[in-house]
Structures are given as structure tokens and as C-alpha cells.
Amino acid sequence: MRSHAPNGILLVDKAEGWTSHDVVAKARRALGTRKVGHAGTLDPMATGLLLLGAGPATRLLTHLVGLDKTYTATIRLGIATVTDDREGDALDRDETERLEVAARIAALTDSPAPITAAAAALTGPIEQAPSAVSAIKVDGRRAYDRVRAGEQVELAKRPVTIHAFELGDPRTARSDRGDEVIDIDATVRCSSGTYIRALARDLGAALGVGGHLVALRRIEVGPFDVAAAVSTAALADGGVGAAEMLDPATVAERLFPVLRLTAQQEIDLGHGKRLEVDPELHPDARLVAAVAAEGPGAGRLVGLVEVKRGRTRVVTNFPTPDATGLGSGASA
């Protein structure tokens, strides 16, 4: 009997040191398919939630990338680095600058109110310059490749939204070279496209002491929580399969309004036809999850549609896992 190809969304708790590509490669082996992609990378230094899609469900990844995200982080104030995180070299300072920063750190230790005020100024809609070692392309080359080649890279600011920037109690520490610094834990809830490294950099810059990221963990992507994720160790051991994956319809129903389809509507939508729906039951919406309600395919995500003035328009169709001629989904 032919086994069904994998089709679903897998939540993975990425360990430190793994690249997002590493996670995809292990998932391909564990799930027995090349058709695996992810919805947003995490740096090797970072840990936490990575969303993977397998089979036809890779078509959902496009609609997951833009979800809001929540991170926990540790920010070190007192030192700025080339990469805005602990993996980069500290920016050089002359003796006068070191003394000035040391005095400001001492003042912040005695009265941390300016740290709270600076974080508040970085909350809400802001313009943020991404870290120079990001994967953003500049004239066809990744910014981090240009930085590694010794080039000076300044990326244009872009709008992001910091929904919450909550700080814990500051604590003093010593850097490897003996400078007094302040470490502070933070929880950040933000729009997609936000660089937490850049947020740490900008917090330190606003205080006149420099700052960088010491630790980062992504704990939420939209409604999905890292507590429900499988570990990269389990993935590497091959102990992850279809049972650990979320069904595409389950995922879509958590994100979008739902349109339940009759058997005939399922066929029509599969052929790309527009459906007539009751505008009172189904008001205008940019994305609606169209789910089969009848027959052997009941519960299957048939497609994502736009609803406008009582008519649907197919945005993304989802073939059955064993269908031939599948279109390409997202990939690493």
C-alpha cells in the first residue's frame, strides 16, 4: 500500500549553533522528502521557534513569514560590536571614549531610569536600519559578505513595529577585557522584519554607551509557541514524523476566517473557479481558509481565497499530497 507523502507544518525548537538550513536538511531526512522549507530564518547564535513546511503545505509558508514574533533576549550595554551581537569584534575606542562610557555605565547602574526611557522611545512604529551583517542584498551581494570583505555597509532604514519592549532588572557584569557593563534581559514582541540585534545596538547608542546582543530566543511566531515544538536533537535522531506535524487546515484555521465547502464547491475551487458566498456570513477578507466539509476529503485545506462582495478569488490552492504536478513551494 502506498504511503502518503508528508504534508504539514512542523514546529522546531532550534538549538544554538544550528543554521536554519541545517534544520531543513535534517527534516528532509526525517520526513523522507526533499520538499521542505522554512518560514523565516534564525541566526546560528539564536535558539527557538522555526516553522517548517513539508509537501503541499510548503505553500502555506508564504503566509506565515509575515506573522508577528516574540523573542526573549539578553542585551549588553557598554560595548558595541561589528555584528551587533556577541560573535563580532568590539568596536575600537580610545582611552578618552572608554572613560566616558565607563562613567555613563556607572550612572546607569545607580539610576537605570534612562534605560527604560530609551526602550520606550524604541517602542511602537519605528524606522530601523538592519544590522550590516544581515542577509539583505546590496547590489546583488549579501550585506554580510560585503562586511566580511572589509567593506563599509550602511543599510537603509525600514519601518517596523515594536509592539512591546519589556526590560528586566539591569545587572552589572565584566566584559572579557575587564570593562564594566550592564546586562539586561528583555522580551520583545514585534512585526516581521525586525532585527533584535539592531534593537540592542540602537538601545546602546541612545544611551551613549553602545550595545549588542548576548543571547536571543524566539518563543512565538503568530499563534504558535515554542513550547509545542520538537527539538533539533529529536529531528537529528530521526524521531520526528507525520504525528508531530500540524495539519495544513489546522494551521490555516488558526490564522484566517474559515469557509466550509460543499463537495461541489471543493471541486469548483480546485479548478480555480470563483464561488458565490453569503456576504453576511463571509464578509470581505484578504485571506480565508477554504476547507472541505463533505466527503472523503472532509477537513482538508483546499485553498486560501480572497472574499470580496460575496465572491471568492483563489489566492493559493493546496493539492492533495499524492497529486502529481505539484508546484514548487518555499525552500531553504
**DSSP class of 236:** H
CA distance 74 to 214: 5
Mind giving me the DSSP string for 137-160? EETTEEHHHHHHTT----PPPEEE
Question: Which secondary structure element, helix H or strand E, spans residue 106, and what is its range?
Answer: helix 95-110
> Could you tell me if 330 and 64 are in contact, meaning their C-beta atoms sit under 8 angstroms apart?
no
Q: Which residue among 13, 43, 84, 85 is the active-site one?
A: 43
The one-letter amino acid at 29: R
Closest listed residue to residue 52, CA positions, set 21, 87, 88, 85: 21
CA distance 304 to 296: 20
> Could you tell me if 196 and 166 are in contact, meaning their C-beta atoms sit under 8 angstroms apart?
no
Asked about 185 being catalytic, the answer comes back as: no
The Cβ-side half-sphere exposure at 244, using a 13 Å CA radius, reads 22
Cell numbers 550602511: residue: 154
Read off φ and ψ for residue 240, nearest 5 degrees: -125, 135
CA distance 314 to 284: 14
| Catalytic residue annotation | 43
